[in-house]
């Protein structure tokens, strides 16, 4: 009897401790969107705003950033998400992260700064979905190498309405 009670409590405790992780995998519904002509990322808020014709039409909450989310990306491998004004310069339909939209980092200032330090500024920064081997919802926390990650549902919605050349503003 005692053993069953202990086992039942253990199973209940495990289920409760897993609840936050399971919640991270809940599907995220995205309403139909118009063509997006501006993307604004607010890193501290983990928020990505989608703008069309001068007004915000949707916000994606809880986006994931690089493993070292505070501060501007300066060097390859620093795990930071860049800050500044960029554009979407490439669409990757065969991404390891469902779909991905490349951000035009590094700009010339980042290249020059890193070169002055004898280092690479890094690159290949994307807005992307989740790892292909773990479909559904979002991984919790900040886990990218500097990219901005959303759910697979969200990147599919972005894919339909974001063109190459769309401005991206990334704020601290």
The predicted structure's pLDDT at residue 14: 40
Rounded-to-integer distance, Cα 100 and Cα 131, Å: 11
The residue count of the chain comes to: 172
Ranges of residues in the chain whose predicted pLDDT is under 50: 3-25
Domain 2-171 classified CATH 1.10.3210.10? no
Stated pTM of the model:
0.83
The predicted structure's pLDDT at residue 2: 52
Place of tokens 């901005």: 148
The predicted structure's pLDDT at residue 69: 86
Task: Give 87's strand partners.
Answer: 167
Domain ranges across the chain = 2-171
The predicted structure's pLDDT at residue 82: 97
CB atoms within 10 A of CB 145: 18
Rounded-to-integer distance, Cα 9 and Cα 157, Å: 42
The predicted structure's pLDDT at residue 28: 67
The predicted structure's pLDDT at residue 138: 83
The predicted structure's pLDDT at residue 27: 57
What would you report as the CA-atom Rg of the chain, rounded to the nearest whole angstrom? 19
């Amino acid at each position: 009897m005692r053993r069953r009670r202990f086992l039942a409590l253990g199973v209940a405790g495990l289920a409760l401790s897993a609840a936050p992780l399971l919640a991270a995998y809940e599907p995220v519904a995205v309403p139909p969107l118009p063509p997006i002509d501006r993307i604004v990322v607010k890193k501290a808020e983990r928020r990505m705003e989608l703008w069309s014709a001068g007004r915000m039409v949707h916000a994606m909450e809880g986006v994931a950033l690089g493993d070292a989310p505070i501060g501007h990306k300066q060097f390859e491998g620093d795990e930071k998400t860049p800050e500044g004004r960029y554009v979407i310069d490439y669409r990757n339909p065969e991404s390891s992260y469902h779909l991905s939209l490349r951000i035009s980092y590094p700009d010339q200032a980042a290249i020059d700064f890193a070169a002055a330090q004898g280092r690479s500024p890094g690159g290949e920064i994307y807005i992307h979905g989740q790892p292909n081997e773990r479909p559904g919802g979002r991984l919790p926390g900040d886990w990218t190498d500097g990219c901005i990650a959303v759910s697979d549902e969200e990147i599919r919605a972005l894919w339909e309405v974001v063109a190459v050349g769309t401005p991206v503003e990334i704020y601290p």
